[in-house]
Amino acid sequence: MTRRLPTAGFIFLILLAMLSWGGSWPSGKLIAGLARAEVIIFWRYFITSLSIIPLLFIFKQSFRIAKRSLPLLILGAVVMITYNQLFLTGLKIGFAGAGGVLTTSLNPIITFILASVIYRESVRPWQKIGLLLGVIGGAVLLDVFKLD
C-alpha cells in the first residue's frame, strides 16, 4: 500500500528540494575557497556516511553489500567524486549562478541522450523539440546571445 502526500505537502517538499538545490551553488562557492576540493569532498562524504548509519539501524537495513553490486557501487562512487571535484573546481574559478544554470540545463539533456543510447531507443520528433527547448532555455539564462 502506498501512502499519498496531500498536494500541499508534496508542493512543500518540492519547494524545499528546489531551495536546497539552489542554495548548494552559492554555499559551494563559499566553501570552495576554504580548502582543496579533495579535502571538502572527504569531509562531505565522511559526515554523510556517519549520518546514514543511524538510519540503517532505525529502518533495520543490513550493512552488507552484495558482490554483484560492488562494480556499480564503485562506478557510482567514482562518478560522484568526479562530479564533486568538477563542481568545486568550477565554483572556485567561475560563477555560482552560471554553474547552477548550466548543470540544471545539461543534466536532463545528457541523461536523456545516455538513456537513448543505452536502451537503443530512437528520439522522437517531440523529444527533439523538448531537448532543443532545453538547450535554448539554458542559453537564454546564461545570456550567451549577448555580444560584448
**Residue 1 falls within a domain, yes or no?**
no
**Residue 114 falls within a domain, yes or no?**
yes
**Residue 15 falls within a domain, yes or no?**
yes
**Residue 148 falls within a domain, yes or no?**
no
pLDDT in tens, 32-63: 999 999 999 999 999 999 999 999 999 999 88
**Residue 2 falls within a domain, yes or no?**
no
Write out the residue range of the structural domain in which residue 79 sits: 10-142
- pTM, entire model: 0.72
Query: What's the number of domains the chain is made of?
Result: 1
**Residue 3 falls within a domain, yes or no?**
no
Evaluated on CA atoms 47, 53, 56, 57, the torsion sign reads negative
pLDDT in tens, 52-110: 999 999 999 988 889 999 999 999 999 999 999 999 999 999 888 888 888 888 888 89
CA dihedral 79, 82, 87, 93 (to 10 degrees): -160
**Residue 81 falls within a domain, yes or no?**
yes
